[in-house]
Structure 1
């Protein structure tokens, strides 16, 4: 089975139902969407990624092409023991709001030290943009002009690296880059990271970067704020830069930042 067939041969759909009460007189809960699970082996780096795709309830009867949010570390747990994954948490946020978008959770958290940092980030970006996204857009009513890329910590750095890589090449794959609590990746220091991003000064960037951080946390104060100030002073035609802070922990910032991204960009 080739890589495209592997994803197209999706497992049986899991109807997602809201939790209901116990009274027999209550109507059965309404379904709130479906999740499809599969795997896809990357030709770019050889790793096989678990893929989860959530579509909203309206998808089954609708005809409109929907935006797609690609969430890295879809299999990451928000803590120890049995806790919701990043994909599950984002999916629940979209269900609560009734967001009309498709969510693609990309597994492979064990690969974060390779995939999110250069040079591995280039191969991982190729996997998402040249292998995964085309399959999603053939299989689902997905709008190729409305794609978002989301990442936390090293994943937040990867989102910036994707913007720099694609901005330097003059061809952006995403309309929205959602970077939460970004690290400075493998650059060794904030100064080196800023010098890396500075390459974008003067380049057209027809996209939105949502740059978010945790209040007075080390990443926000030492990395994200300097990055925001530098990018705000640059000239990038077509570029929209949005910055937000949250009174939360490093990981705790991820959900409120995502919920605000839904409100701002996917109402």
Structure 2
């Protein structure tokens, strides 16, 4: 199997590392080290479980004009198959940007540009039960009929270590997976408490005030997707603006 525009499990990558580009091996190895660290546990408890159970899927994209279309192809593939991977599945997409140098806001712009470009290539209608306005508390990123929570990390993050990674990284978790976690209220509360406790120990800045629960009146999902080291953020959702424009010229 070729890895281009497809997803692969941990065991496949470990077995076929010799056939992958060096940056792909480096990205996966860095991710694996972080998710398996027992001395400083990664804050997202479900992600750690998904890694250990080999239910996470991985994909790799090169920066440039084709980044958005590659991302869209990968996400379409995952959207049609995620239910077979297990209850702790997520999709991790690593992006190679060898010639890019920038700060957090520059990576933030790239994050939204790739996500928006992929969104513009979605072949399915936006789900009827999800508002298209990101300023609505029930809005969330959708693709190929599936609803997702999206997490972004970058090399520019320093203080918010939970968002630091050597490559621009996207983590997409189906909303149905998150809803399954929440069915057991007591377990969900314990998991959230554990995540917050780990975040406090992992990052050198306080927990971001935008980390709230989906559906709460004062929660806006897009604000959680790419958290800066400080509490700053764009005034309006970049995805909303980009969806109304034609293809943007890549800045990376």
TM-score of the superposed pair, with normalisation by structure 2: 0.36
TM-score of the superposed pair, with normalisation by structure 1: 0.34
Q: Select the structure with the greater relative contact order (CA < 8 A; seq sep ≥ 6).
A: 2
Q: Compare the two structures and name the one with the higher strand fraction.
A: 1
